[in-house]
Amino acid sequence: MSTKRDRLNGAGAQLATEVSINFGSSLAGLMIPVVGSPVVVAARQIVMVCVILPFYRPKLSTITWRRVWPALALGVVLAVMNVTFYMAVGLLGLGIAATIEFLGPFGLALATSRRPLDFVCATAAAGGVFLLTWSDGSLSVLGIVLALTAAASWAAYILLTRRVAGDFPGLEGITIASLMSLALVVPLALFTVDFSVLNWGVIGLLAVIGVLSSAFPYTVDTYILRRITPRLYSIITSFGPVIAAGFGALVLGETFTLQQQIAILVVCVAAGAAIATQRDRPRSDLELTATAIP
C-alpha cells in the first residue's frame, strides 16, 4: 500500500515524464526541417533499443511465429505512429498534432463505455478537435490526416501492447517490437537523410531527443506505476496536449488563436473528466493508455 508521500512523489515523477516527452518532441520539431522525420524517429528508436536490449533480450529458442507475430505487428504500428506523428508536427506544429493524436487512446477508452457522461465527454472532445482544425485554410490537410493516422496507430499500439505483454515475460515482447520498428525506420532514414547536414551537434541533439522522449520516461514509468494508480497516471497524461502546446510556443515559437487555445483545453478537460470519474477496477484500455509509451 503506497503512502501519501509515495503518491505525491509518483505524481510528480509522472508530471516530469510528461514534460520530458513533450520537451523532447519540441526539440524534434527543431530537427525535422534539418534531417527529416524518419531520421528523428530512427534516432529515438536506436536510443530505446540501446536502453532495453541489454536487460530484456528475447529468448530465440522459445519464439514461434504464432507467438511472435503480434510483437512484429506492434513494431510496424510503432514505426507508423512515430513517423506520422513527427511528420504531422512538421506540418501542423506540436500543440495541434499532439491534441489530435490523443484522440486515439481517448476514443479507444470510450469505445465500450455506456455511461452518458462519457458520451458527453466524447462529444466535447470531438467538438474541441473540430474547433482546432476548422480554420481559414491555413492548416495542412495532409498534416491533419497524418495526425489522425498517428491517433489510430496509438490506439492499435495499446491493443497490441496488451497482447504482447501477455505473451512474453517482462519486456521481451516490447524489445522485439522495438527491433522491428528500428528495422523499418532505419532504411527509410538512410534513404532520406542529407548526410551533409549531420555533425556532432545534430547527432548530439538527436540523442538527447531519444533520451527525453524514450529512455527517461521509459525507465521512470516502473517507479511511477508502483506509487500511483493507473487512473491518476491517466489523468495526468490527459493534459499532455496542454504541455505540448506550451513547449510548442516556448521552443518552436508556435502561436495559437484564442479558438485553438479553447479547443486544446476542451479536449484535455473532456479526457480528464472521463478518466477521473471512472470507477477503480481491473485495467481497462483507458487505464492502459498510461502504460503505452509512443
CB count in 10 Å sphere of residue 7: 14
pLDDT tops 70 at residue 278: no
User: Up-side HSE of residue 96: CA atoms within 13 Å toward CB?
Assistant: 28
pLDDT value of residue 112: 65
User: What confidence score (pLDDT) does residue 223 get?
Assistant: 64
CA atoms 228, 229, 232, 236: torsion sign: positive
Burial (CB count <10 Å: 0-12, 13-18, 19+), residue 226:
exposed
Q: What is the pLDDT of residues 33-56, one digit of tens each?
A: 999 999 999 998 898 888 877 766
Containing domain of residue 41, as a range? Answer: 4-291
Mean pLDDT is lowest, of 57-66, 251-260, 261-270, for 57-66
Q: Enter the C-alpha cell of residue 78.
A: 510503432
Task: Report pLDDT digits (tens) over 136-177.
Answer: 557 888 999 999 999 999 888 878 877 777 766 666 777 888
The pLDDT of residue 1 is above 60: no
- Beta carbons within 8 Å of 63's beta carbon, 6+ residues apart: none
Distance CA 134, CA 131 (A): 5
What pLDDT digit, counting tens, does each position of 186-201 carry?
A: 999 999 888 889 999 9
**Residues making up the chain, counted from first to last:** 294
Give the pLDDT mean for 249-264.
Answer: 89
- The residues near 258 (Cβ < 8 Å, ≥ 6 apart) are none
Helix pair angle (216-225, 4-35), 10° resolution: 160
Interval 78-107: pLDDT, tens: 899 999 999 999 999 999 999 898 888 777
Q: What is the 3-state secondary structure (H, E, C) of the chain?
A: CCCHHHHHHHHHHHHHHHHHHHHHHHHHHHHHHHHCHHHHHHHHHHHHHHHHCCCCCCCHHHCCHHHHHHHHHHHHHHHHHHHHHHHHHHHHCHHHHHHHHCHHHHHHHHCCCCCHHHHHHHHHHHHHHHHHHCCCCCCCHHHHHHHHHHHHHHHHHHHHHHHHHHHCCCCHHHHHHHHHHHHHHHHHHHHHCCHHHCCHHHHHHHHHHHHHHHHHHHHHHHHHHCCCCHHHHHHHHCCHHHHHHHHHHHHHCCCCCHHHHHHHHHHHHHHHHHHHCCCCCCCCHHHHHHHCCC
Is residue 69 within 8 Å of 19, Cβ to Cβ?
Answer: no
151, amino acid identity: A
Number of domains in the chain: 1
